[in-house]
């Protein structure tokens, strides 16, 4: 993926640590050392803002409350949806994603064509990219606006509220230093840019330190079960997971991101535990709304959500956009049971019939993805056996960052 790699420049190296950040647009024409110092200062400011609850209406919630570094920047608790707002009692309707490995998410587009060296350039892969579950945010800076101003997240009424709170918390002098330099036009934009820059620090957000990365580098072997899981994950006749959650390095050696960033309708079951879903008229339709508003006229986009990376997925406590599953095994089993044993996935109505795809109104059912592992008839054998599901789960656990090879194994490799 040269498209991705080209976004990154090595800016500087300090104390033998190579720090890599995205080259900011405002850095044009500046000396390297100056760029580095500014990026570092901005990232440090962003880190403080990210962890500072004083930016919220409740005074008690920061970005880090929902995006906890110890949990791959996802929540520490197992609630499907986090509470927020001025009274910390408001709930939205989406699970909080991890903030890791977002650095190469492409800009949202309705028509995505692969870069020439990766696949067939002429194939339109459809809606792809963007941040959040429906791809509505163009950049990390633009995204930061959403939680800062959401009534069920940090609960500020206006951008000025955020600036006022930041100034009251003592950030005024530092925000003012960056304003002319970033040419953003407002202190609010300095805040969102700082948050963005913090999230571009690879050591925290995309370190590639999983067992699978060590395996790809030839430093460690996978266990038999993990190896079997990988095979099944990649096999088009079995899991076919890798058709969306890309598992092999790019031709230029870019590590696999475990997503192709596509927006797809999987029809995960309705999460009846969400207050939002107590109203039977309410549906989160992803790409066609209601959170996203620009594509509301596209019936063929209803039910589509962004394919998340599976890196660090084993550290998650809830799965899919509505957090309907609480275990990774259940999330994997969903794929092979949805069409073969739907009674194990969806609820029954008063007549005792299974309500297929119960979180998507009927008129949108044609949007649902039917490619393997989906599409088997009711009663047929699921695409994966129980031991194969276990193997996929074992494999997914190799995608967690922070792996250190056992010393004995390492020594053996070195010999």
Q: How far is CA 261 from the centre of its chain?
A: 9
Enumerate the β-bridge partners of residue 113. Answer: 124
When binding is defined by CB under 6 A, the residue of 335, 346, 357, 364 that contacts ligand HEC is: 335
The answer to whether 206 contacts ligand HEC (rule: CB under 6 A) is: no
283 binds ligand HEC (CB under 6 A): no
Site for ligand HEC in 1-40 (CB under 6 A): none
Stretch near ligand HEC under the rule CB under 6 A, chosen from 20-28, 238-246, 348-356, 402-410 = 238-246
CA distance 331 to 338: 11
DSSP 303-342: TBEEPPP-TTGGG-SSBTTTT-BSSHHHHHHHHHHTTTSG
What is the CB neighbour count within 10 angstroms for residue 363? Answer: 9
Distant-in-sequence, close-in-space partners of 124: CB < 8 Å, separation ≥ 6: 111, 112, 113
Check residue 320 for interaction with ligand HEC (CB under 6 A). Answer: yes
Q: Are 193 and 184 in contact (CB under 8 A)?
A: yes
Pick between residue 122 and residue 237 the one whose CB is nearest to ligand HEC. Answer: 237
Touching ligand HEC, residues 115-144 (CB under 6 A)? 131-134, 140, 143-144
Q: Which residue in 39, 149, 268, 333 binds ligand HEC (CB under 6 A)?
A: 268
Distances (CA, A) of 257 to 21, 76, 176, 288, 385: 18, 23, 37, 26, 26
Instruction: Find the angle CA(98)-CA(361)-CA(339) to the nearest 5 degrees.
Output: 75
Interatomic CA distance for residues 309 and 101, integer angstroms: 7
**In whole angstroms, how close is the CB of 266 to ligand HEC at the nearest point?**
5
CA distance 85 to 284: 20
30 vs 165, which CB is nearer to ligand HEC?
165
Q: Which one of 127, 147, 289, 382 is in contact with ligand HEC (CB under 6 A)?
A: 147
Sign of the CA dihedral with 99 first, then 102, 108, and 114 last: negative
99 Cβ contact list (under 8 Å, min separation 6)? 67, 72, 73, 74, 199, 205
Task: Look up residue 207 and give its DSSP letter.
Answer: -
Task: Give the shortest CB-321-to-ligand HEC separation in angstroms.
Answer: 3
Any contact of residue 312 with ligand HEC (CB under 6 A)? no
Each residue 390-409 as x (binds ligand HEC by CB under 6 A) or -, in order, gives --x-----------------
Question: For 102, what's the count of Cα atoms within 13 Å in the CB-facing half-sphere?
Answer: 28
156 scored as a contact of ligand HEC (CB under 6 A): no
Residue 63 found at the interface with ligand HEC (CB under 6 A): yes
> Under the criterion CB under 6 A, does residue 103 sit at the interface with ligand HEC?
no
* Candidate list 43, 66, 187, 391; residue touching ligand HEC; CB under 6 A: 66
* 114-122, 168-176, 179-187, 313-321 -> range binding ligand HEC (CB under 6 A): 313-321
Task: Select the span of 10-18, 108-116, 146-154, 182-190 touching ligand HEC (CB under 6 A).
Answer: 146-154
Among 155, 256, 308, 382, binds ligand HEC (CB under 6 A): 308
Q: Out of 373, 376, 394, 397, name the contact with ligand HEC by CB under 6 A.
A: 373
The answer to whether the beta carbons of residues 286 and 351 sit under 8 Å apart is no
Q: Which residues contact 29 (CB under 8 A, 6 or more apart)?
A: none
Cα 267 to Cα 242, 296, 303, distances in angstroms: 19, 18, 7
**Out of 316, 338, 376, 397, which residue is the one contacting ligand HEC (CB under 6 A)?**
316
Choosing from 100, 165, 211, 245, the residue that interacts with ligand HEC (CB under 6 A) is: 245
Query: Which residues are near ligand HEC by CB under 6 A?
Result: 61, 63, 65-67, 82, 84, 92, 94, 96-97, 99, 102, 131-134, 140, 143-144, 147-148, 153-154, 195, 239-241, 243-245, 264, 266, 268, 291, 305, 307-308, 310, 313, 316, 319-321, 328, 331-332, 335, 369, 371, 373, 392
């Amino acid at each position: 993926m040269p498209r991705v790699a080209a976004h990154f420049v090595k800016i500087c190296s300090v104390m033998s640590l190579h720090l890599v950040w995205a080259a900011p647009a405002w850095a044009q024409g500046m000396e390297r050392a100056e760029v580095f110092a500014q990026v570092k200062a901005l990232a440090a400011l962003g880190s403080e803002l990210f962890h500072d609850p004083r930016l919220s209406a409740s005074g008690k919630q920061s970005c880090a409350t929902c995006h906890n570094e110890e949990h791959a920047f996802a929540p520490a608790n197992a609630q499907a949806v986090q509470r927020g707002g001025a009274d910390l009692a408001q709930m939205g309707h989406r699970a909080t994603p991890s903030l890791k490995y977002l650095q190469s998410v492409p800009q949202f587009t309705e028509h995505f064509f692969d870069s020439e060296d990766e696949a067939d350039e002429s194939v339109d892969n459809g809606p792809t990219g963007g941040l959040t579950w429906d791809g509505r945010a163009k950049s990390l800076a633009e995204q930061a606006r959403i939680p800062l101003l959401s009534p069920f997240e940090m609960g500020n009424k206006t951008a000025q509220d955020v600036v006022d709170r930041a100034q009251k918390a003592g950030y005024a002098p530092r925000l003012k230093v960056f304003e002319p330099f970033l040419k953003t036009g407002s202190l609010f934009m300095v805040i969102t840019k700082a948050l963005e820059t913090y999230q571009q620090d690879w050591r925290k957000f995309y370190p590639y330190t999983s067992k699978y990365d060590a395996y790809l580098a030839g430093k460690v072997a996978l266990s038999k079960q993990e190896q079997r899981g990988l095979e099944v994950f990649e096999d088009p006749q079995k899991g076919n997971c890798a058709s969306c959650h890309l598992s092999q390095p790019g031709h230029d050696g870019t590590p696999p991101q475990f997503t192709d960033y596509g927006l797809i309708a999987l029809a995960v079951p309705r999460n009846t535990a969400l207050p939002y879903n107590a109203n039977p008229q309410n549906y989160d339709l992803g790409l066609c709304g209601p959170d996203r508003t620009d594509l509301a006229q596209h019936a063929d986009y209803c039910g589509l959500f962004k394919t998340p990376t599976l890196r660090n997925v084993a550290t998650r406590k809830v799965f899919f956009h509505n957090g309907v599953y609480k275990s990774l095994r259940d999330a994997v089993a969903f794929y092979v049971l949805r069409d073969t044993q739907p009674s194990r996935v969806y609820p029954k109505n008063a007549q005792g019939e299974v309500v297929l795809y119960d979180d998507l109104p009927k008129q949108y059912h044609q949007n649902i993805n039917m490619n393997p592992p989906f599409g088997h008839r009711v009663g047929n054998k699921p695409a994966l056996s129980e031991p194969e599901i276990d193997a996929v789960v074992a494999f997914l656990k190799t995608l967690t960052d922070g792996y250190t090879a056992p010393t004995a194994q390492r020594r053996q490799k070195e010999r």
